[in-house]
A and B are shown apart, each in its own frame.
Chain A
Amino acid sequence: MHNTFLLVLVVLIAVGFDFTNGFHDTANSVAPTIATGALRPRTAVLMSSALNIVGAFLSLKVAATIASGIVSQTSVILPVVFAGLTGAIVWNVATWYFGIPSSSSHALIGGVVGAMLAHSGGSTVLWGGLTSKVVAPAIAAPTFALLIAALATTLSRHLTSKSDSATKSWGMRTGQIGSSALLSIAHGTNDAQKTMGIVTLALVANGTLADNAGTPTWVVVMCGVTIGMGTYLGGWRIIRTMGHGFTTLSPTQGFASQITSSVVILSSSHFGMPLSTTHVAAGSILGSGVGTKKRSVRWAVAARVALAWLMTLPAAALCGALSFYLSHAIGSPVGEVVTGLLTALACVGIVRRSRRDRITPENVNDEWGGHSEAFEHVKGHSPATTEVSA
Protein backbone atom coordinates (compact mmCIF):
# COMPACT_ATOMS: atom_id res chain seq x y z
CA MET A 1 0.00 0.00 0.00
CA HIS A 2 2.71 2.52 1.01
CA ASN A 3 4.92 3.67 -1.82
CA THR A 4 6.75 6.77 -0.68
CA PHE A 5 8.76 7.28 -3.89
CA LEU A 6 5.65 7.20 -6.05
CA LEU A 7 3.80 9.47 -3.61
CA VAL A 8 6.64 12.01 -3.86
CA LEU A 9 6.42 11.80 -7.68
CA VAL A 10 2.68 12.40 -7.51
CA VAL A 11 3.13 15.42 -5.21
CA LEU A 12 5.78 16.83 -7.58
CA ILE A 13 3.60 16.39 -10.64
CA ALA A 14 0.67 17.91 -8.68
CA VAL A 15 2.83 20.96 -8.02
CA GLY A 16 3.52 21.08 -11.76
CA PHE A 17 -0.20 20.96 -12.49
CA ASP A 18 -0.92 23.66 -9.92
CA PHE A 19 1.68 25.87 -11.56
CA THR A 20 0.11 25.41 -15.01
CA ASN A 21 -3.28 26.08 -13.41
CA GLY A 22 -2.11 29.47 -12.15
CA PHE A 23 -0.25 30.22 -15.37
CA HIS A 24 -3.21 29.20 -17.53
CA ASP A 25 -5.86 30.97 -15.45
CA THR A 26 -4.16 34.33 -14.80
CA ALA A 27 -6.34 35.65 -17.60
CA ASN A 28 -9.51 34.91 -15.65
CA SER A 29 -8.60 37.49 -13.03
CA VAL A 30 -6.68 40.14 -14.90
CA ALA A 31 -7.48 40.08 -18.63
CA PRO A 32 -10.13 42.86 -18.53
CA THR A 33 -8.00 44.95 -16.14
CA ILE A 34 -5.05 44.75 -18.53
CA ALA A 35 -7.16 45.19 -21.68
CA THR A 36 -8.71 48.46 -20.48
CA GLY A 37 -5.43 49.77 -19.08
CA ALA A 38 -6.77 49.91 -15.51
CA LEU A 39 -3.46 48.42 -14.37
CA ARG A 40 -0.16 47.82 -16.11
CA PRO A 41 0.23 44.17 -17.10
CA ARG A 42 3.03 43.40 -14.64
CA THR A 43 1.28 45.19 -11.77
CA ALA A 44 -1.95 43.33 -12.51
CA VAL A 45 -0.34 39.88 -12.41
CA LEU A 46 1.65 40.74 -9.27
CA MET A 47 -1.52 41.81 -7.45
CA SER A 48 -3.41 38.78 -8.73
CA SER A 49 -0.62 36.44 -7.70
CA ALA A 50 -0.53 37.74 -4.11
CA LEU A 51 -4.32 37.57 -3.79
CA ASN A 52 -4.49 34.08 -5.27
CA ILE A 53 -2.27 32.96 -2.40
CA VAL A 54 -4.56 34.73 0.09
CA GLY A 55 -7.62 33.10 -1.50
CA ALA A 56 -6.12 29.63 -1.20
CA PHE A 57 -6.24 29.92 2.59
CA LEU A 58 -9.83 31.13 2.90
CA SER A 59 -11.91 27.99 2.43
CA LEU A 60 -11.52 24.25 1.90
CA LYS A 61 -15.06 23.42 0.82
CA VAL A 62 -14.23 22.76 -2.83
CA ALA A 63 -11.13 20.71 -1.93
CA ALA A 64 -13.42 18.39 -0.04
CA THR A 65 -15.76 17.91 -2.98
CA ILE A 66 -13.25 17.54 -5.85
CA ALA A 67 -11.59 14.57 -4.17
CA SER A 68 -14.79 12.61 -3.91
CA GLY A 69 -17.88 11.91 -5.93
CA ILE A 70 -16.27 11.66 -9.38
CA VAL A 71 -14.28 8.46 -9.09
CA SER A 72 -14.55 5.77 -6.45
CA GLN A 73 -11.96 6.83 -3.84
CA THR A 74 -11.39 3.27 -2.66
CA SER A 75 -10.28 2.25 -6.18
CA VAL A 76 -7.87 5.15 -6.69
CA ILE A 77 -4.21 4.17 -6.77
CA LEU A 78 -1.20 6.47 -7.07
CA PRO A 79 -0.37 5.60 -10.71
CA VAL A 80 -3.91 6.69 -11.64
CA VAL A 81 -3.50 10.05 -9.90
CA PHE A 82 -0.09 10.49 -11.52
CA ALA A 83 -1.36 9.68 -15.01
CA GLY A 84 -4.38 11.95 -14.52
CA LEU A 85 -2.17 14.87 -13.58
CA THR A 86 0.17 14.39 -16.55
CA GLY A 87 -2.85 14.32 -18.88
CA ALA A 88 -4.12 17.57 -17.37
CA ILE A 89 -0.71 19.26 -17.64
CA VAL A 90 -0.29 18.32 -21.31
CA TRP A 91 -3.78 19.63 -22.16
CA ASN A 92 -3.21 22.85 -20.17
CA VAL A 93 0.09 23.62 -21.89
CA ALA A 94 -1.25 22.74 -25.36
CA THR A 95 -4.30 24.99 -24.94
CA TRP A 96 -2.09 27.77 -23.56
CA TYR A 97 -0.01 27.58 -26.75
CA PHE A 98 -3.13 28.13 -28.83
CA GLY A 99 -4.31 30.91 -26.51
CA ILE A 100 -7.45 28.97 -25.61
CA PRO A 101 -8.97 29.72 -22.22
CA SER A 102 -9.98 26.13 -21.44
CA SER A 103 -10.83 24.84 -18.00
CA SER A 104 -7.95 23.54 -15.86
CA SER A 105 -10.52 21.91 -13.57
CA HIS A 106 -11.98 19.93 -16.45
CA ALA A 107 -8.50 18.98 -17.63
CA LEU A 108 -7.74 17.68 -14.15
CA ILE A 109 -11.00 15.77 -13.81
CA GLY A 110 -10.73 14.45 -17.39
CA GLY A 111 -7.16 13.26 -16.80
CA VAL A 112 -8.08 11.39 -13.63
CA VAL A 113 -11.22 9.86 -15.20
CA GLY A 114 -9.23 8.73 -18.27
CA ALA A 115 -6.52 7.14 -16.14
CA MET A 116 -9.18 5.49 -14.00
CA LEU A 117 -10.93 4.07 -17.09
CA ALA A 118 -7.58 2.69 -18.32
CA HIS A 119 -6.89 1.20 -14.91
CA SER A 120 -10.15 -0.44 -13.97
CA GLY A 121 -12.84 0.31 -16.55
CA GLY A 122 -16.04 2.28 -16.27
CA SER A 123 -17.36 0.75 -13.07
CA THR A 124 -15.11 2.89 -10.83
CA VAL A 125 -16.11 6.17 -12.45
CA LEU A 126 -19.12 7.70 -10.72
CA TRP A 127 -20.98 8.85 -13.83
CA GLY A 128 -23.76 10.48 -11.82
CA GLY A 129 -21.20 12.51 -9.88
CA LEU A 130 -19.45 13.44 -13.10
CA THR A 131 -22.71 14.75 -14.53
CA SER A 132 -23.79 16.67 -11.44
CA LYS A 133 -20.37 18.07 -10.54
CA VAL A 134 -18.84 18.65 -13.95
CA VAL A 135 -21.21 18.53 -16.91
CA ALA A 136 -24.16 20.46 -15.41
CA PRO A 137 -21.98 23.25 -13.92
CA ALA A 138 -20.05 23.43 -17.21
CA ILE A 139 -23.26 24.42 -18.97
CA ALA A 140 -24.69 26.48 -16.11
CA ALA A 141 -21.59 28.51 -15.19
CA PRO A 142 -20.92 30.36 -18.45
CA THR A 143 -24.66 30.76 -19.10
CA PHE A 144 -25.29 32.33 -15.67
CA ALA A 145 -22.22 34.54 -16.01
CA LEU A 146 -23.19 35.65 -19.53
CA LEU A 147 -26.75 36.56 -18.54
CA ILE A 148 -25.79 38.37 -15.34
CA ALA A 149 -22.90 40.30 -16.94
CA ALA A 150 -25.13 41.31 -19.88
CA LEU A 151 -27.76 42.64 -17.46
CA ALA A 152 -25.19 44.41 -15.27
CA THR A 153 -23.46 46.00 -18.30
CA THR A 154 -26.77 47.15 -19.79
CA LEU A 155 -27.87 48.74 -16.50
CA SER A 156 -24.49 50.36 -15.95
CA ARG A 157 -24.44 51.69 -19.52
CA HIS A 158 -27.89 53.27 -19.14
CA LEU A 159 -27.11 54.73 -15.73
CA THR A 160 -23.90 56.38 -16.91
CA SER A 161 -25.29 57.67 -20.20
CA LYS A 162 -25.22 61.27 -18.90
CA SER A 163 -21.89 61.05 -17.05
CA ASP A 164 -18.85 62.71 -18.53
CA SER A 165 -16.70 60.11 -20.19
CA ALA A 166 -13.45 61.04 -18.40
CA THR A 167 -14.93 60.58 -14.93
CA LYS A 168 -16.80 57.46 -16.00
CA SER A 169 -13.65 55.92 -17.46
CA TRP A 170 -11.56 56.82 -14.40
CA GLY A 171 -14.25 55.57 -11.98
CA MET A 172 -14.78 52.28 -13.76
CA ARG A 173 -11.05 51.62 -14.10
CA THR A 174 -10.69 52.22 -10.37
CA GLY A 175 -13.58 49.84 -9.79
CA GLN A 176 -11.87 47.31 -12.02
CA ILE A 177 -8.84 47.25 -9.74
CA GLY A 178 -11.11 46.33 -6.82
CA SER A 179 -13.09 43.78 -8.80
CA SER A 180 -9.90 42.23 -10.19
CA ALA A 181 -8.61 41.87 -6.63
CA LEU A 182 -11.86 40.21 -5.58
CA LEU A 183 -11.70 37.91 -8.60
CA SER A 184 -8.12 36.91 -7.80
CA ILE A 185 -9.14 35.96 -4.26
CA ALA A 186 -12.09 34.03 -5.68
CA HIS A 187 -9.79 32.22 -8.10
CA GLY A 188 -7.35 31.29 -5.34
CA THR A 189 -10.23 30.08 -3.17
CA ASN A 190 -11.70 27.98 -5.95
CA ASP A 191 -8.72 26.71 -7.97
CA ALA A 192 -5.86 26.12 -5.53
CA GLN A 193 -8.25 23.83 -3.71
CA LYS A 194 -8.55 21.52 -6.69
CA THR A 195 -4.89 20.54 -6.49
CA MET A 196 -5.22 20.36 -2.71
CA GLY A 197 -8.05 17.91 -3.27
CA ILE A 198 -5.96 15.79 -5.65
CA VAL A 199 -2.93 15.69 -3.31
CA THR A 200 -5.26 14.72 -0.47
CA LEU A 201 -6.69 11.98 -2.70
CA ALA A 202 -3.13 10.71 -3.35
CA LEU A 203 -2.32 10.75 0.37
CA VAL A 204 -5.49 8.78 1.09
CA ALA A 205 -4.77 6.37 -1.79
CA ASN A 206 -1.30 5.73 -0.36
CA GLY A 207 -2.68 5.13 3.11
CA THR A 208 -0.77 8.15 4.47
CA LEU A 209 -4.06 9.82 5.41
CA ALA A 210 -7.20 8.17 6.73
CA ASP A 211 -10.30 8.08 4.50
CA ASN A 212 -12.29 11.33 4.70
CA ALA A 213 -9.40 13.09 6.43
CA GLY A 214 -9.04 16.86 6.04
CA THR A 215 -6.44 18.60 3.87
CA PRO A 216 -3.09 18.92 5.73
CA THR A 217 -1.75 22.47 6.21
CA TRP A 218 1.46 21.82 4.22
CA VAL A 219 -0.69 20.90 1.22
CA VAL A 220 -2.67 24.16 1.58
CA VAL A 221 0.53 26.26 1.78
CA MET A 222 2.24 24.40 -1.10
CA CYS A 223 -0.75 24.70 -3.43
CA GLY A 224 -1.41 28.35 -2.54
CA VAL A 225 2.17 29.45 -3.18
CA THR A 226 2.52 27.40 -6.38
CA ILE A 227 -0.66 28.73 -7.98
CA GLY A 228 0.46 32.24 -6.98
CA MET A 229 3.81 31.73 -8.72
CA GLY A 230 2.12 30.40 -11.86
CA THR A 231 -0.22 33.39 -11.84
CA TYR A 232 2.70 35.81 -11.56
CA LEU A 233 4.38 34.45 -14.69
CA GLY A 234 1.14 35.19 -16.54
CA GLY A 235 -0.21 33.19 -19.45
CA TRP A 236 -0.05 36.19 -21.78
CA ARG A 237 -1.41 34.29 -24.79
CA ILE A 238 -4.67 33.54 -22.95
CA ILE A 239 -4.79 37.01 -21.38
CA ARG A 240 -4.76 38.34 -24.94
CA THR A 241 -7.65 36.10 -26.06
CA MET A 242 -9.74 36.92 -22.98
CA GLY A 243 -8.96 40.65 -23.05
CA HIS A 244 -9.22 41.30 -26.78
CA GLY A 245 -10.47 38.19 -28.58
CA PHE A 246 -14.09 38.01 -27.42
CA THR A 247 -14.93 41.70 -27.55
CA THR A 248 -13.31 45.10 -27.31
CA LEU A 249 -13.69 45.85 -23.63
CA SER A 250 -14.51 49.27 -22.21
CA PRO A 251 -13.88 50.01 -18.51
CA THR A 252 -17.64 49.70 -17.83
CA GLN A 253 -17.73 46.25 -19.43
CA GLY A 254 -14.54 45.21 -17.66
CA PHE A 255 -15.92 46.23 -14.28
CA ALA A 256 -19.30 44.53 -14.82
CA SER A 257 -17.70 41.31 -16.10
CA GLN A 258 -15.20 41.08 -13.25
CA ILE A 259 -17.77 41.75 -10.53
CA THR A 260 -20.03 39.11 -12.08
CA SER A 261 -17.23 36.54 -12.31
CA SER A 262 -16.13 37.05 -8.71
CA VAL A 263 -19.65 36.87 -7.32
CA VAL A 264 -20.58 33.74 -9.31
CA ILE A 265 -17.34 31.97 -8.28
CA LEU A 266 -17.60 33.00 -4.62
CA SER A 267 -21.26 32.02 -4.35
CA SER A 268 -20.59 28.62 -5.93
CA SER A 269 -17.62 28.12 -3.58
CA HIS A 270 -19.94 29.07 -0.69
CA PHE A 271 -22.30 26.25 -1.69
CA GLY A 272 -19.37 23.83 -2.22
CA MET A 273 -19.92 23.49 -5.96
CA PRO A 274 -16.65 23.48 -7.93
CA LEU A 275 -17.15 25.67 -11.00
CA SER A 276 -14.64 26.29 -13.73
CA THR A 277 -13.40 29.84 -13.14
CA THR A 278 -12.40 29.97 -16.81
CA HIS A 279 -15.95 29.23 -17.95
CA VAL A 280 -17.32 31.87 -15.60
CA ALA A 281 -14.78 34.54 -16.60
CA ALA A 282 -15.22 33.87 -20.33
CA GLY A 283 -19.03 33.87 -19.96
CA SER A 284 -18.90 37.21 -18.11
CA ILE A 285 -16.68 38.84 -20.73
CA LEU A 286 -18.99 37.62 -23.50
CA GLY A 287 -21.99 38.86 -21.49
CA SER A 288 -20.39 42.28 -21.12
CA GLY A 289 -20.09 42.37 -24.93
CA VAL A 290 -23.73 41.35 -25.31
CA GLY A 291 -24.67 44.18 -22.92
CA THR A 292 -23.21 46.87 -25.17
CA LYS A 293 -25.36 48.90 -27.53
CA LYS A 294 -23.95 47.17 -30.62
CA ARG A 295 -23.86 43.70 -29.02
CA SER A 296 -20.18 43.62 -30.03
CA VAL A 297 -18.99 40.04 -29.67
CA ARG A 298 -16.64 38.03 -31.89
CA TRP A 299 -18.85 34.96 -31.93
CA ALA A 300 -16.41 33.05 -34.14
CA VAL A 301 -13.77 33.23 -31.39
CA ALA A 302 -16.38 32.31 -28.77
CA ALA A 303 -17.47 29.30 -30.85
CA ARG A 304 -13.90 28.01 -31.16
CA VAL A 305 -13.37 28.40 -27.44
CA ALA A 306 -16.66 26.57 -26.75
CA LEU A 307 -15.48 23.75 -29.03
CA ALA A 308 -12.26 23.52 -27.02
CA TRP A 309 -14.36 23.35 -23.83
CA LEU A 310 -16.28 20.40 -25.26
CA MET A 311 -13.01 18.69 -26.15
CA THR A 312 -11.27 19.30 -22.81
CA LEU A 313 -12.77 16.44 -20.82
CA PRO A 314 -12.31 13.69 -23.47
CA ALA A 315 -8.91 14.99 -24.65
CA ALA A 316 -7.48 15.20 -21.13
CA ALA A 317 -9.01 11.77 -20.43
CA LEU A 318 -7.24 10.39 -23.51
CA CYS A 319 -3.91 11.92 -22.39
CA GLY A 320 -4.44 10.50 -18.88
CA ALA A 321 -5.27 7.05 -20.24
CA LEU A 322 -2.25 7.01 -22.59
CA SER A 323 -0.01 8.13 -19.75
CA PHE A 324 -1.37 5.34 -17.54
CA TYR A 325 -0.89 2.69 -20.27
CA LEU A 326 2.69 3.84 -20.87
CA SER A 327 3.63 3.84 -17.17
CA HIS A 328 1.92 0.48 -16.69
CA ALA A 329 3.70 -1.06 -19.69
CA ILE A 330 7.12 0.00 -18.36
CA GLY A 331 6.29 -0.83 -14.77
CA SER A 332 6.00 1.28 -11.62
CA PRO A 333 7.80 3.47 -10.51
CA VAL A 334 10.19 3.64 -13.51
CA GLY A 335 7.16 4.04 -15.79
CA GLU A 336 6.02 7.12 -13.88
CA VAL A 337 9.54 8.61 -14.03
CA VAL A 338 9.65 8.08 -17.81
CA THR A 339 6.12 9.46 -18.30
CA GLY A 340 6.95 12.46 -16.13
CA LEU A 341 10.08 13.17 -18.16
CA LEU A 342 8.17 12.82 -21.43
CA THR A 343 5.52 15.23 -20.14
CA ALA A 344 8.22 17.73 -19.16
CA LEU A 345 9.86 17.36 -22.60
CA ALA A 346 6.52 17.91 -24.36
CA CYS A 347 5.90 21.06 -22.30
CA VAL A 348 9.39 22.43 -23.00
CA GLY A 349 8.87 21.75 -26.72
CA ILE A 350 5.56 23.63 -26.75
CA VAL A 351 7.05 26.57 -24.82
CA ARG A 352 10.01 26.75 -27.24
CA ARG A 353 7.66 26.70 -30.22
CA SER A 354 5.60 29.53 -28.69
CA ARG A 355 8.69 31.77 -28.85
CA ARG A 356 8.21 32.14 -32.60
CA ASP A 357 5.51 34.68 -31.83
CA ARG A 358 5.88 35.64 -28.22
CA ILE A 359 3.09 37.42 -26.42
CA THR A 360 4.56 39.51 -23.64
CA PRO A 361 3.38 42.23 -21.24
CA GLU A 362 4.66 44.73 -23.82
CA ASN A 363 2.53 43.50 -26.76
CA VAL A 364 -0.41 41.81 -25.03
CA ASN A 365 -2.65 44.81 -25.76
CA ASP A 366 -1.85 45.00 -29.49
CA GLU A 367 -4.91 45.14 -31.74
CA TRP A 368 -6.65 41.76 -32.17
CA GLY A 369 -5.41 40.06 -35.31
CA GLY A 370 -2.02 41.73 -35.07
CA HIS A 371 -0.37 38.50 -33.98
CA SER A 372 -0.62 34.94 -35.21
CA GLU A 373 -3.68 34.46 -32.98
CA ALA A 374 -2.66 30.83 -32.96
CA PHE A 375 -5.99 29.09 -32.64
CA GLU A 376 -7.41 31.16 -35.47
CA HIS A 377 -4.83 29.82 -37.85
CA VAL A 378 -7.00 27.87 -40.22
CA LYS A 379 -5.98 27.82 -43.87
CA GLY A 380 -7.75 30.50 -45.85
CA HIS A 381 -8.84 32.36 -42.73
CA SER A 382 -7.00 35.53 -41.91
CA PRO A 383 -7.17 36.52 -38.23
CA ALA A 384 -7.45 40.13 -39.28
CA THR A 385 -10.85 39.44 -40.82
CA THR A 386 -12.36 38.21 -37.57
CA GLU A 387 -15.72 39.85 -37.34
CA VAL A 388 -17.23 41.94 -34.62
CA SER A 389 -20.94 41.60 -35.20
CA ALA A 390 -22.90 44.80 -34.89
Chain B
Amino acid sequence: MNSILAASSGLIKWGLLGKILVLSAGVSVSLVVLFTLAVNALSAYRRQGAAVATKTVSALVGVVTLTLILATLVWGLYFIVHK
Protein backbone atom coordinates (compact mmCIF):
# COMPACT_ATOMS: atom_id res chain seq x y z
CA MET B 1 0.00 0.00 0.00
CA ASN B 2 2.77 2.40 1.01
CA SER B 3 4.71 1.65 -2.16
CA ILE B 4 1.61 2.34 -4.29
CA LEU B 5 1.10 5.65 -2.51
CA ALA B 6 4.77 6.55 -2.91
CA ALA B 7 4.87 5.58 -6.59
CA SER B 8 1.74 7.56 -7.43
CA SER B 9 2.48 10.61 -5.27
CA GLY B 10 4.05 12.42 -8.23
CA LEU B 11 0.81 12.21 -10.18
CA ILE B 12 -1.87 12.14 -7.52
CA LYS B 13 -1.96 14.64 -4.69
CA TRP B 14 -3.04 12.22 -1.98
CA GLY B 15 -2.61 14.78 0.79
CA LEU B 16 -4.83 17.30 -0.94
CA LEU B 17 -7.49 14.69 -1.72
CA GLY B 18 -7.37 13.56 1.90
CA LYS B 19 -7.84 17.14 3.14
CA ILE B 20 -10.82 17.63 0.82
CA LEU B 21 -12.38 14.34 1.98
CA VAL B 22 -11.96 15.08 5.69
CA LEU B 23 -13.15 18.69 5.42
CA SER B 24 -16.12 17.79 3.19
CA ALA B 25 -17.20 14.83 5.28
CA GLY B 26 -16.91 16.78 8.56
CA VAL B 27 -18.79 19.85 7.36
CA SER B 28 -21.46 18.00 5.33
CA VAL B 29 -22.34 15.47 8.00
CA SER B 30 -22.35 18.14 10.73
CA LEU B 31 -24.65 20.42 8.73
CA VAL B 32 -27.06 17.62 7.86
CA VAL B 33 -27.17 16.30 11.44
CA LEU B 34 -27.65 19.75 12.95
CA PHE B 35 -30.41 20.64 10.52
CA THR B 36 -32.10 17.29 11.11
CA LEU B 37 -32.00 17.87 14.89
CA ALA B 38 -33.58 21.28 14.35
CA VAL B 39 -36.36 19.69 12.27
CA ASN B 40 -36.80 17.13 15.05
CA ALA B 41 -37.14 19.92 17.60
CA LEU B 42 -39.83 21.55 15.49
CA SER B 43 -41.60 18.23 15.04
CA ALA B 44 -41.51 17.58 18.79
CA TYR B 45 -42.87 21.06 19.49
CA ARG B 46 -45.77 20.53 17.09
CA ARG B 47 -46.62 17.13 18.55
CA GLN B 48 -45.98 17.43 22.26
CA GLY B 49 -45.67 21.09 23.07
CA ALA B 50 -43.03 23.23 24.68
CA ALA B 51 -41.68 20.83 27.31
CA VAL B 52 -40.37 18.25 24.85
CA ALA B 53 -39.24 20.94 22.44
CA THR B 54 -37.15 22.55 25.21
CA LYS B 55 -35.55 19.16 25.86
CA THR B 56 -34.77 18.72 22.17
CA VAL B 57 -33.37 22.24 21.85
CA SER B 58 -31.16 21.58 24.90
CA ALA B 59 -29.92 18.39 23.26
CA LEU B 60 -29.28 20.35 20.06
CA VAL B 61 -27.27 23.00 21.92
CA GLY B 62 -25.38 20.23 23.70
CA VAL B 63 -24.51 18.46 20.45
CA VAL B 64 -23.44 21.72 18.76
CA THR B 65 -21.19 22.84 21.61
CA LEU B 66 -19.67 19.40 22.10
CA THR B 67 -18.98 19.13 18.35
CA LEU B 68 -17.38 22.57 18.33
CA ILE B 69 -15.24 21.77 21.37
CA LEU B 70 -14.10 18.47 19.84
CA ALA B 71 -13.43 20.09 16.47
CA THR B 72 -11.34 22.88 18.00
CA LEU B 73 -9.45 20.34 20.12
CA VAL B 74 -8.57 18.30 17.01
CA TRP B 75 -7.65 21.50 15.18
CA GLY B 76 -5.47 22.60 18.12
CA LEU B 77 -3.77 19.22 18.27
CA TYR B 78 -3.06 19.36 14.53
CA PHE B 79 -1.67 22.88 14.96
CA ILE B 80 0.60 21.84 17.85
CA VAL B 81 1.90 18.71 16.08
CA HIS B 82 2.62 20.52 12.82
CA LYS B 83 4.24 23.66 14.31
Contact = CB atoms under 8 A, between A and B. Distances in A.
B20 A171 contact: no
B11 A132 contact: yes
Interface band, chain A:
35 or more
Interface string B30-58: 01110111111011101100000000000
Contact of A136 (B12, B27, B38): B12
Residue of A147, A149, A263, A270 ringed by the most chain B CB atoms within 10 A: A263
Contacts of A152: 28-29, 32-33
Interface in A142-169: 144, 147-149, 151-153, 155-156, 159-160, 162-164, 167-168
Interface string A117-135: 0000000000010011000
Contacts of B46: 164, 167
Nearest to A161: B40
Nearest to B29: A152
A166 to B, nearest CB: 8
A285 B19 CA distance: 22
Which 10 residue pairs of A and B lie closest in terms of their CB atoms, listed nearest first? A171-B39, A163-B43, A167-B43, A152-B32, A263-B28, A136-B12, A264-B24, A131-B11, A156-B36, A260-B28
B17 interface: yes
Nearest to A265: B24
A168 B37 contact: no
Contacts of B13: 132, 136, 273
A312 to B, nearest CB: 20
Contact of B29 (A132, A151, A252): A151
20 contacts: A137-B17, A140-B20, A148-B29, A152-B28, A152-B32, A153-B32, A155-B36, A160-B36, A160-B40, A163-B39, A164-B47, A171-B39, A255-B35, A259-B32, A263-B27, A264-B20, A267-B23, A268-B24, A271-B20, A273-B20
B47 A159 contact: no
B31 A171 contact: no
Contacts of B6: none
A255 B32 contact: yes
Interface string A253-279: 001100110011001101101000000
A131 B12 contact: yes
B17 A136 contact: yes
B33 A148 contact: no
A41 interface: no
Contacts of A270: 23
A81 to B, nearest CB: 25
B20 to A, nearest CB: 5
A175 interface: yes
A273 B25 contact: no
B81 interface: no
A375 B20 CA distance: 33
B4 interface: no
B55 to A, nearest CB: 13
B53 to A, nearest CB: 12
Given A128-B10, A131-B11, A255-B32, A171 B38 contact: yes
Contacts of A252: 36
A271 B24 contact: no
A267 B16 contact: no
B1 interface: no
Contact of B16 (A156, A175, A256, A271): A271
A154 B39 CA distance: 16
A172 B27 CA distance: 18
A156 to B, nearest CB: 4
Contacts of A171: 35, 38-39, 42-43
A57 to B, nearest CB: 23
Contacts of A163: 39-40, 43-44
A155 B27 contact: no
Contacts of A131: 11-12
B7 interface: no
Interface string A329-349: 000000000000000000000
A171 B45 CA distance: 13
A316 to B, nearest CB: 21
A139 B69 CA distance: 34
Contact of B42 (A128, A140, A162, A167): A167
Contacts of A172: 39
